[in-house]
Structure 1
C-alpha cells in the first residue's frame, strides 16, 4: 500500500506522520541537533527519511523558518523548501494559508503564506471533521487558539504578528518557555515577591512538579544543564525566587509550581473566552485539544463547562499512534489533507 507522509518542520524537531489509505498509522518526532547552523535540519531530515520508502508522496508545513540560524523568515522558507524538494522530490507539496497545498515553484511568489502556516493546516482539517469549536494546540513553545466555524478556521490573524495581536497565538508552551515569561511575582511563605528575569527554569520544571508533563515531552537540556529529577526541577524554581531549594520544604516548591501553572492557564483561558465570544460559539461547541500540553486544554474545557475532544479522536488513527498524532497535529493534518487531495 502506497504511503503518504506529512511533515511539520520545526526549529527544534521534525515531525513526521505516515498515512495509509486515509488512516494515520505512525507519527514520529526527530530532534534537530543543537547547532547554530541550518545543517541541523539536514541532519534531522536524513534520520527521519529512513522511515520513508522511495516513491512516497510528501506534504510539508513548517515553523522552522523562524529559527535564528536564518537571517530572515524568507531565507528560512527558501532553505527548507529547497531541502525538502531535493530530498523528497519535485512533486512535494507545501501548505499555504490561502491556497492549501501548492508546489515548490509557487512558494517563491507566496512564501509568506507558507511561513508558520502549520496551525492553519490543523485548523482546516479539524473544522472539516469536527465542525464548530475552539482548537487549542499547546506545544513546547507556543499555544494556538483557533476558532472553528461553519467548517472553516475562523482566525482573524494569519501571520504570527497578527495572531499575537488577536489573541490567537500565545508565545508560551509547557516545556521550553522560561518561567519568567509566565509570572513576574509569586508567593513564598505567605508573601508575594518578585521573580528573577533570568532563564533559571522553564515550564517543563513546573509541570514535572505538578505531575502533568508527559515523560517524553521534554527532550531538551534543562536550563542549568543538570538533570530532570523532581528535586533538580525544584532547585531551578527556587533559583527563580533568588533562593536555594533547602530554603523551604519540597511542598513549598510544588505549591509554587501549581501557582505558575494556574497563571499560564489563566492567560489561555482569558484569550479563549474572548475568541469564543467574538465568534459566538454555541455552548456545546467543544474545546479540541492538541499538543503535548493539551492537558491544559482539557482542564480549561472543564472550567468553561464545555465538552472536550482530543484531536486524536476526530481522525482515523491506529491506536498505538494516537498519543503522538495528538501531539503532532500539523504533521498529521497536512498528511491527511494531501492524501485526500487530487494534486497529491
Structure 2
C-alpha cells in the first residue's frame, strides 16, 4: 500500500533536502513564454519557491495548531464557482463568466455566505480569466482578483501560482502567466501525497476538460505550466463529460454502417451521451443544456438526434444508442492518445493512478484498456474525500494547502 489516509488529510507541503518547494523546477519556469522578469527586473525563472511555514513531516497539523482562522479556498472558473473550507463543506454554483462578469463580486459573497464566521484567509485559483469577456488573460486575472478583494475586504487574499506557492494578489497580477489556469496545479500538489514514491499519474476528467498530470516522488512534474503548453504536450485535453459540444468530439460517426458527418452546431453536449447511458444522473429541474430543455434521458434523445440533422421520428432508440457509442469511442480515443504521450515520459513503472472529477467513470474505463497501466494501484479522490468535496476538489485542495502554508 502506497498511501496513508491521514497523509491525504494532512497535506504536508513537499520540499527537497534543502527546504525548497519541489512543485516547479527552474527548467519548467524558463519554458513559460512571457516569463522574463517581475516589475523590478529580477528573473522570475530562478525565484526561490520556499514556503513561509515551517513544518514537521512526522506529524499532522490541525487548524488550531497552525494558529490560523477560517480559510476558504475559491476555484473561480469560466462556467462555475466553487468554494471549500477544506473540512466540512464544499459548494459550487453555475456562473457563466462571459455573461455575468459584472456580478462576480456579489456571486462570491453569496457563494460563501454559508460560512457565518469571519473569513480570515481567502485562497484563490482560477481558470475564468480565459472567458472571452476579457480581452487578455492578464485583464481577466486582474478583474477576477479585484472582484475577490471587493467581496472580502477584511480577509487576507492569497493566490496560487503554477510555480507551487501562494503569492500576494499584486504579485499574481505582476505575473499573470503563472496565475492563469492554475487550479490543476493546486489539485495535483495536494493529490501527490497519495503516492510519495516513484511515478504516479493524476487523471482529472471534469465537465469541460481533462488533466493528465505526471507526478514523480510526490511532486507534480509536467512539461508545461500554461494551458497552451499543456495542450501542446497532451497534458490538457479540452474535453469533459458535460459541457463539450459533440461536434468537438468527432467530425463523423458511423451509423447504420455509413460514415455520417456531424452538424457543426451546438445541438448536444457530452452530458447527453452519459445521460443516455445512465452514467450521469438525470436532473429534471436543470435546464442548462444545449436546447434549454431538462437534463433527462428523454430530452437528451431529442438533442442527440439533432447532431446528425435528424429527430426521434426518424431515429429509434437503437439508432441513438449506436450514435452514442460511436461518439463515446471518439472521446475515449482523444483522451487515450494524449494519455499515451504522457505515459511515454515516465522514467519507471507507473505505481499509482489517482482519479478525480465527475468523469472518473470514463477515466477508469480508459485505464482498463491500457495494458501498461494494469499493475498500477488505483485511488479515487471521490472516495477518499467524499462526493461533496470531490465535485470541488480544486477548491478543497486550496483550502487544505492554505491552512498548512499560510
Could you state the TM-score of these two structures normalised by the residue count of structure 2?
0.77
Does the C-alpha gap of structure 1 residues 207 and 40 become closer, same or farther in structure 2, counting only changes over 3 Å?
farther
Does the C-alpha gap of structure 1 residues 214 and 282 become closer, same or farther in structure 2, counting only changes over 3 Å?
farther
Partner residue of 1:293? 359
Does the C-alpha gap of structure 1 residues 45 and 133 become closer, same or farther in structure 2, counting only changes over 3 Å?
same
Compute the displacement of 1:35 (Å).
6.6
Partner residue of 1:73? 137
Does the C-alpha gap of structure 1 residues 225 and 217 become closer, same or farther in structure 2, counting only changes over 3 Å?
closer
Per-residue Cα deviation, 1:132-164 (whole angstroms, up to 9, x for no partner): 311111111111111111211111111111111
Alignment of 1:1-344 (within 5 A): 2-19=69-86, 24-32=87-95, 36-52=99-115, 53-88=117-152, 89=154, 91-131=156-196, 132-215=199-282, 221-283=288-350, 285-304=351-370, 305=374, 306-314=376-384, 317=385, 322-341=386-405, 344=406
Q: Distance in 2 between matches of 1:118 and 1:330?
A: 6
Compute the displacement of 1:217 (Å).
12
Which has the larger displacement, 255-264 or 48-57? 48-57
Q: Distance in 2 between matches of 1:29 and 1:301?
A: 28
Per-residue Cα deviation, 1:9-56 (whole angstroms, up to 9, x for no partner): 01111111112xxxx311100222677242232232121120232143
Per-residue Cα deviation, 1:253-281 (whole angstroms, up to 9, x for no partner): 02211221121112111211221121235
Does the C-alpha gap of structure 1 residues 95 and 214 become closer, same or farther in structure 2, counting only changes over 3 Å?
farther
2:313 partner SS: helix
Does the C-alpha gap of structure 1 residues 70 and 169 become closer, same or farther in structure 2, counting only changes over 3 Å?
same
2:293 partner SS: coil
Contact 2:203 2:355 in 1 (8 A): yes
Contact 2:183 2:394 in 1 (8 A): yes
Contact 1:33 1:43 in 2 (8 A): no
2:361 partner SS: helix
Contact 1:13 1:44 in 2 (8 A): no
Q: Distance in 1 between matches of 2:368 and 2:100?
A: 43
Does the C-alpha gap of structure 1 residues 8 and 220 become closer, same or farther in structure 2, counting only changes over 3 Å?
farther
Instruction: State the structure with more CA Rg.
Output: 2
Compute the displacement of 1:327 (Å).
2.3
Does the C-alpha gap of structure 1 residues 219 and 154 become closer, same or farther in structure 2, counting only changes over 3 Å?
farther
Which has the larger displacement, 287-296 or 37-46? 37-46
Contact 2:81 2:95 in 1 (8 A): yes
Contact 2:105 2:148 in 1 (8 A): no
Partner residue of 2:26? none
Per-residue Cα deviation, 1:205-231 (whole angstroms, up to 9, x for no partner): 111111111446995622122233222
Q: Distance in 2 between matches of 1:271 and 1:33?
A: 28
Q: Which runs of 5+ in 2 are unaligned?
A: 1-63
Compute the displacement of 1:307 (Å).
3.1
Q: Which runs of 5+ in 1 are unaligned?
A: none
